[in-house]
A and B are shown apart, each in its own frame.
Chain A
Amino acid sequence: MQLLQSQPQVDTASPVVAAATFDPPVVRPGGTSTYRVTFNAMMDSVQWPEDLVAPKQLELQPGGRGQLLLPAGASLQPRTTFNTRVKATNTGAFTIPRYLVYVYGKPVTVPAADLQVVEDPAVAVPATPEVRLSLGATNVFVGQPVSARVVLEGNVNGVLQALAQIKLVGEGFVTDTTFARQTIQPMDAASGSLPAFVYETSLTPVTAGLLPITAQGFTAGNQFVGPITITGRATILGGTPLYELRDTLPVMLKVRTIPQDGRLPGYHGGIGQFRADSPALSTNSVQVGEPVTFSVNVMGSGNLARLIPPAPPKVEGWKVYAGKPDPGPAQLIEARGFITFRFTLVPTSEKTKATPAIPFSYFDPASERYVALDLPSLPIAVKPSAVPINLDDFADAAGPAVGARAEPKLSALAPGRGKTMASLQPWQQHPWFPLVQLAPVVLFAGLWGWDRRRRFLAANPEIVLRRRARRALQREWTAVRRAASVGDTPRFAAGVVSAFRVACAPHYPAEPRALVSTDVLPLLPESESAMHTAVRAVFAATNAERFAASQTPPADLLALRHELERARTLLEEKLR
C-alpha cells in the first residue's frame, strides 16, 4: 500500500481534449498519411468509433493504438493515440470533419483535420521517417524463434530520435523481451547513409497459420529507455519529445506445425541447428552407488535458451536421474552461446565400463526433419563399493517419480458387460422408493397385531377350540354328504356321530369321542322333537353297529338327512 501511495497519481480529472492531425498534412496522389488522434485520457476510457466518417476519396485503414503516461508536475498525464492510415488517390483538399467520441462516458469533440493531396507541393514537405518492421524468417514452424527488427531512420539531415514502448502487435505469437536490444547505427538509404534507431527482439509463434504482425512505438526524442549501443554518427536533438505514435505496415508470418513423422527419441521441443560439445564427467573413477555428474554443452542457433534436457534413459547398471535445466538466465545463455545439460548418474554394478548414451534430438527447420544429437557414452572405471549399500534405495530415476501417476492411456475393450443396473436412475429417485420404505412399517404393524392376537387367544383358549371344532365339523360333514350321495349308510351314520361329537365337545369341554347322544341333545332346541329323534336314531344305529358287529344300520337313516342337516347348522352356529 505504501508503495502504491508513493507512486504519482494518474491525472484523470483534467478536462479531456482531443487533437487530430494528418502526418504529413500534404501528400502526393497515391501517397500515404497517418491520421492521428490524441486524447489526454486513458485508452480504456475512450470509446473509439469503428468506422470514421471521411471523404470517399480517402482510403482508411486502422493502424496502431497506444497509451503513454507522461510526467506532468506531481502527477502522470495519460496520452492515448489512435492511428489510421489514409491513402489518397485523387488530388484535392480533404477534410475529416469533427465528430464526437465518448471519453469517461462524456462526449469529447475531435476537431476536423485537413489533408492536401497535390501533384507538386508549393512548399516542400519533409517526409516523415517511417517505422519499418522486418522478420528474420517469414516461413517458420510453431515454436521456432524468429528475430524481429524495428527500424526508425533519421531524416535527411541525419537527425534521429528514439522509440519508446515498442511492441509487436498481433495474435498467435509471444514476444520474448529478454533478448531485446536497441542500437543506433548507420543504414544505407536512397539519400546516402543515415543513422537509424534499431530495436531487435525475438518472437515465438504458438499457433499455425498466416499471422499478420505489426510494430508500434512512440517517438521519444532523446529519451532512451535501457542501455543502447551507438555506432557511427548521429544527431539527437534535445528538448521535449513529441511522443507521436508510429506504427508499421503488417508483415505476414507463415507458421506451420512441426511434422510428427520421423520424430526421434530424445526430442523435447528443440528447434534450430544445434551441436554438442564433448561431454565431460566429474570423475572417471567411482564406486558402485557413488554419483557422478555427466555434463555437456549444446550450442547453435534456435531456441537455445529454452532447450530442455532429454529424458534419462533406463539402462542396466546405471541409475540416470533427470537432467536439470541450465540455471543461467536466458540472456546469459544467448550471450555465451551454449547451454549446459547436467545429468546425475549412479552406477549400480561394478561390471559397468562406460556411461550410458543419452538419446537427444532436435528439429531442423531448414531441412524440415529431425536430427539425432545423442549424447555419447564415456568410459569410466567402476569399483565395488567399500561399504555395503542397498541399491533399492535409489529411486527409479528413469521411471516415474515416487508418488507420480503413470501416463494415462486408453483401455482395451471390455470383454463382458461388467456390472449392470436396471436403470441409471438411483433408487431414491424412483417413485416406488418411498412406498418400499413403508413396507417395514406394515411389517411392524403386522407383528404387533399378530402378537396381540396371539396373547388374546392364549387368554381365551375356548375360541381356538371352537374354531378347531368348526373346521372339524365342516370336514366331517363333507364326508357325510359324500357318503349320503353314494348311499353308504354306515359311513353316513358314523360321519354324523363324529361330526356332532366334535361340534359339541367345546361346550363341555370334553374329549369328542367320550360324548354320547345325551350330551348332544341338550345343545339342540327342545322344541325340535324330530331333530332329537333323528339324533338319537343315528347314535343308536352307530352304537348298534359298533357293539353288535352283525347288525348294519337301517337304510332309512338317510331319510333323516334333512333333520340332521338342520341339527348340524344349529350346532355350527353355536360354535361361532
Chain B
Amino acid sequence: MKACSHISQRDPFVVALQAAMLLLVAQIGFSAGGDFHAGLNAYRSGDCPRAAEVWSKHSQLQPASGTFINLGLAEWHLGRRGPAVLAWERALWVDPFNADARENLRFARKAAQLEAPTLTWFEAASLWLPINAWALVAGISLWAAVAFVTLPRILRWRRANWQQALAAAGFAIFLLCLPSLYGINTRSRLGIVLEKETELRLTPTRSAQTMMLLPAGQPARWERARGEYLLIRTGYGQGWIERSQLGLVCPK
C-alpha cells in the first residue's frame, strides 16, 4: 500500500514530465517538418521570398542538408548569390557527400565567375567523413586503445597479442583522425561574402581606404575580429569587412 502510494505520488510528476518532453520533441519535429513543406509549397507557387524566409528559419531551428539546398535555390532565384552560395556550402558542411549541393556550387561559381575555397590537404581530408564522425571515430579509437592497454592491467587479465594489436590499431586510427579534426576547425573559419561589391578595407574603420570590391559569393577566411569588422583573407588579398557582410559556414 505504501509502495503503491509512493508510486501514485510520483506517477503524476513522472507522467507529466514524460508527456511534456514527448510533446516538446513532437512539437519540434512537427514544426520543423511543417515549415519545410510550407517552404516547398511557397517555392512551387512562385513565392521565393516566402520560401527563403521559411527555410532560413527552419535551417536555424534544425540544420539539414535538404533545407540548405532548397534555401540556396530560393536565394539564387531571388538574385542573392552570396546567401545562395553560403546555403549550399552549409549543405556540404552538413552532408559532405551531397551531390546536389556540390553541383549547385559548381553551377553558381561558373555562372558568377566565383572562386571556390582553396582547401589545404588536411581540410580536403576532412571532407571524407561527416564533420562529427571524425570526433566520434577519434574518441572511440583513442579510448579503445587506452582500454586495451590499461584494462588488462586493471582487471589483471592475461596479456594477449590481439589486445596489443587492437591498441596499436586504435592509436593509429586516432592519429590519422587528428589532421582531419584540425581541418574541420580551420574549415569552420570559412565564410562567404554576402553582398555584391563588398568593400575590402585597409583598416577596420568606416573611413578606411577601399582596396578592392569583392563579389557576392566570394569565399574568405576570417582571421580575427575587431569591433564590427572582421579581418578576412581571400584569393584577392587580406583586408577588413563588416561583420554583417560575411556569412560563416559554421556560425559561431
B-binding residues in A (CB < 8 A): 408-429, 433, 436-437, 440, 444, 447-448, 451
Given A414-B100, A429-B188, 6 more pairs with CB closer than 8 A: A408-B107, A411-B100, A413-B44, A417-B66, A421-B64, A447-B155
Known contacts: A410-B76, A417-B33, A444-B150. The answer to whether A428 contacts B184 by CB under 8 A is yes
Instruction: Report the Cα distance A437→B135, complex, angstroms.
Output: 11
Interface contact B250-A411, CB-CB below 8 Å: no
Interface contact B154-A426, CB-CB below 8 Å: no
Taking CB atoms, residues of chain B closer than 8 Å to A424 are: 63, 90, 93-94, 249-251
Can you list 9 A-B pairs, Cβ within 8 angstroms, ordered by A?
A408-B104, A411-B73, A414-B69, A418-B94, A426-B135, A428-B181, A428-B184, A440-B146, A448-B154
- Interface residues as binary, B96-139 with A (CB distance below 8 Å gives 1, 0 otherwise): 00101101101100100000000000000000001110011001
A-binding residues in B (CB < 8 A): 32-33, 36, 40, 43-44, 62-67, 69-70, 73, 76, 90-91, 93-95, 98, 100-101, 103-104, 106-107, 110, 130-132, 135-136, 139, 143, 146-147, 150-151, 154-156, 181, 184-185, 188, 249-252
Q: Is the interface of A mostly helix, strand, loop or mixed?
A: loop
Interface contact B64-A417, CB-CB below 8 Å: yes
Least CB distance from A534 to B in Å reads: 29
Instruction: Report the Cα distance A416→B69, complex, angstroms.
Output: 10
Instruction: Report the Cα distance A433→B131, complex, angstroms.
Output: 14
Interface contact A410-B43, CB-CB below 8 Å: no
Taking CB atoms, residues of chain B closer than 8 Å to A436 are: 139
Of the candidates A410, A414, A447, the one having the most CB atoms from chain B within 10 angstroms of its own CB is A414
Interface contact B184-A426, CB-CB below 8 Å: yes
Report, nearest first, the 4 A-B pairs whose CB atoms are least far apart: A418-B66, A414-B66, A408-B106, A411-B100
Instruction: Report the Cα distance A487→B126, complex, angstroms.
Output: 77
Taking CB atoms, residues of chain B closer than 8 Å to A448 are: 154
Instruction: Report the Cα distance A425→B110, complex, angstroms.
Output: 29
Taking CB atoms, residues of chain A closer than 8 Å to B146 are: 440, 444
Instruction: Report the Cα distance A423→B63, complex, angstroms.
Output: 6
Instruction: Report the Cα distance A408→B43, complex, angstroms.
Output: 22
Taking CB atoms, residues of chain B closer than 8 Å to A411 are: 69, 73, 100-101, 103-104
The residue from A409, A420, A427, A451 contacting B94, defined by CB atoms under 8 A apart: A420
Interface contact A410-B151, CB-CB below 8 Å: no
Instruction: Report the Cα distance A410→B110, complex, angstroms.
Output: 11
Give the nearest-CB partner of B250 in chain A.
A424
Instruction: Report the Cα distance A410→B90, complex, angstroms.
Output: 16
Interface contact A413-B70, CB-CB below 8 Å: yes
Interface contact A426-B250, CB-CB below 8 Å: yes
Interface contact A433-B135, CB-CB below 8 Å: yes
Interface contact A418-B63, CB-CB below 8 Å: no
Taking CB atoms, residues of chain A closer than 8 Å to B130 are: 419
Interface contact A409-B132, CB-CB below 8 Å: no
Interface contact B107-A419, CB-CB below 8 Å: no
Taking CB atoms, residues of chain B closer than 8 Å to A447 are: 151, 154-155
Taking CB atoms, residues of chain A closer than 8 Å to B252 are: 425
Give the nearest-CB partner of B36 in chain A.
A417
The residue from A415, A417, A418, A433 contacting B98, defined by CB atoms under 8 A apart: A418
Interface contact B76-A419, CB-CB below 8 Å: no
Instruction: Report the Cα distance A425→B250, complex, angstroms.
Output: 6
Least CB distance from A362 to B in Å reads: 25
Least CB distance from A269 to B in Å reads: 18
Interface contact B70-A426, CB-CB below 8 Å: no
Instruction: Report the Cα distance A72→B151, complex, angstroms.
Output: 90
Instruction: Report the Cα distance A411→B98, complex, angstroms.
Output: 11
Taking CB atoms, residues of chain A closer than 8 Å to B62 are: 417, 420-422
Of the candidates A416, A428, A433, the one having the most CB atoms from chain B within 10 angstroms of its own CB is A428
The residue from B66, B90, B131 contacting A415, defined by CB atoms under 8 A apart: B66
